[in-house]
Amino acid sequence: MSRTRRWFGKGDRRVLALTLPIILSNATVPLLGAVDTAVVGHLDSPHYIGAVAVGALIFSYVFWSFGFLRMATTGLAAQADGRRDPNGVRAVFVRAALIAVTAGLAVMLLQWPIIELAMALIQPTAAVEAAARDYFHVRIWASPATLMQYCMLGWLLAMRDARAVFIFQVVLNSLNMFLDILFVQGFGWDVKGVAGATVIADYSGVMLGWFLMQPHLKRLGGTWRGIGIFDRTQLARLMKINGDIFVRTMALTSAFAIFTSFSARFGEVTLAANAVLQNFLMFGSFALDGFAHAAETLVGQAYGAERRKQFLWAVRKTTIWAIVSAVVMAAIFGLAGPWIIDGLTSIPEVRDASYSYLLWAVMLPITGVLGFQFDGVFLGAMQTKHWRNMMLLSVAIYAGMAWGAVVADSNHLLWASFNAFFLLRGVTLAVLFPTIIPAGRKATA
């Protein structure tokens, strides 16, 4: 009994109580991606799968260039909460929300140059391009809602409300999946149906998110008046942090863009197979993100309160559980991989190609776990400069390796470089971790 308590104590229960609802809610995101793939994967041509993959890539690139709306909101709000500053917690959300609405409207206005530049860079086949354009011109109308959701999700994570995050993600993505099936299989709207489902779900998500925030606003106290939204010191800090996160996120999204773009050079079947296998990455990454989000929240509060021991405890506990989770996921993917592929597509040539490259997808949770985990640690501490620089270094090395795969005409080498990229993310941040540990000028609670 004593040995059991030593390995699984109160601290472990605390981490899992925060993490498991987030993992379960995050699991609905890759499940949505799988449904997106499956509803078009059972149509009569592989170009529909490629079109959704290309369209989703474009929006990942555009929207996650504003990923700081989620990331900075969590870290800054958690630190303000750790300082017991309710007006500061409110101000963090309002600043992020104003940026989200403004940026979303700008994206809609700039939709023509965005799609033209994307197609020039990706260079898909004519059939994939035509369908991807249909997808893009429908989904673009969700832009303000999508970015507002980033703010709400980040704020709820900072409040350590795993239950609200779970409800938010499950309801939003369940509605999206239902509309996917209805619009594509029921109404025959192919890729436009997939995009339309996302638009409706995203605006519904904003209304739900605001509802879920209300209990915390009452608990925190404070007021919306005089919260210093335009305080120069806070705005300067926010712009610096947002700039670092923007550059880092663009670099990360570029890594995915390189993978999809180079996949397209191997033909429609390989592009479709790689898109199918990327669903494994989505399942793995969003599960690992649960522990990264837990680290981000717990580290942020410890860092804001200047509690060294609590900081190190949060890093250690969340990382141990993340590694265990990665090993379990890799084992599941290895055993169930062929059945998952068969569920995602019924096109024989795409299935055969996916089987050939499955092992690389199975390895991704193992090669990626430290990268995801240290993302949460550095974000919680708001040490975004190091975080940004190590991502740029990792992407630069990966880009060279990926180009070598294209020159060698080898999709296996492309997958190997993709795994190397995820490994580099973790190793480079691990080297810098000792430099961000707080001094600890206050007693541990």
Is 192:135 a contact under the CB 8 Å cutoff?
A: yes
Instruction: Provide the pLDDT for residue 159.
Output: 87
Tell me if 164 sits within 8 A of 212, measured CB to CB.
yes
Q: Are 282 and 362 in contact (CB under 8 A)?
A: no
Q: Per 3-state DSSP, what percentage of the chain is helix, strand, and coil (rounded to 5)?
A: 85, 0, 15
Is the pLDDT at 358 greater than 90, yes or no? yes
Question: Is the pLDDT score of 445 beyond 50?
Answer: no
Cα gap 205→18, rounded to integer Å: 22
| H-only helix segments in 64-161 | 68-82, 86-109, 111-122, 126-139, 143-158
**What gap in Å lies between CA 207 and CA 222, rounded to an integer?**
23
Spans of all domains in the chain: 9-436
Tell whether the model's pLDDT for residue 32 goes beyond 70: no
- The H-or-E segment that residue 17 falls in is helix 10-41
Name the band, by pLDDT with cuts 50, 70 and 90, for residue 160.
confident
The pLDDT assigned to 443 comes to: 39
Is the predicted pLDDT of residue 347 greater than 90, yes or no?
Answer: no
Tell me how far apart the alpha carbons of residues 270 and 357 are, in angstroms, rounded to a whole number. Answer: 10
Give pLDDT, residue 444.
Answer: 38
Longest dimension (CA), the chain: 65
Tell me how far apart the alpha carbons of residues 81 and 73 are, in angstroms, rounded to a whole number: 12
Q: According to the model, what pLDDT value does residue 158 have? A: 85
pLDDT score recorded for residue 42: 64
Q: Quickly count: other Cβ atoms within 10 Å of residue 185's Cβ.
A: 14
Q: Which among 269, 252, 256, 265 has a CA at the least distance from the CA of 357?
A: 269
Residue found under tokens 């959704």: 52
Q: Do residues 50 and 124 touch, judged by C-beta distance below 8 A? A: yes
Among the residue ranges 51-60, 309-318, 397-406, 413-422, the one predicted with the least confidence is 51-60
Helix (H, G, I), strand (E, B) or coil at 299: helix
Q: What pLDDT, on a 0 to 100 scale, did the predictor assign at position 328?
A: 92
Q: What's residue 406's pLDDT?
A: 92
Q: What is the mean pLDDT of residues 239-267?
A: 86
| Mean pLDDT score across all residues of the chain | 84
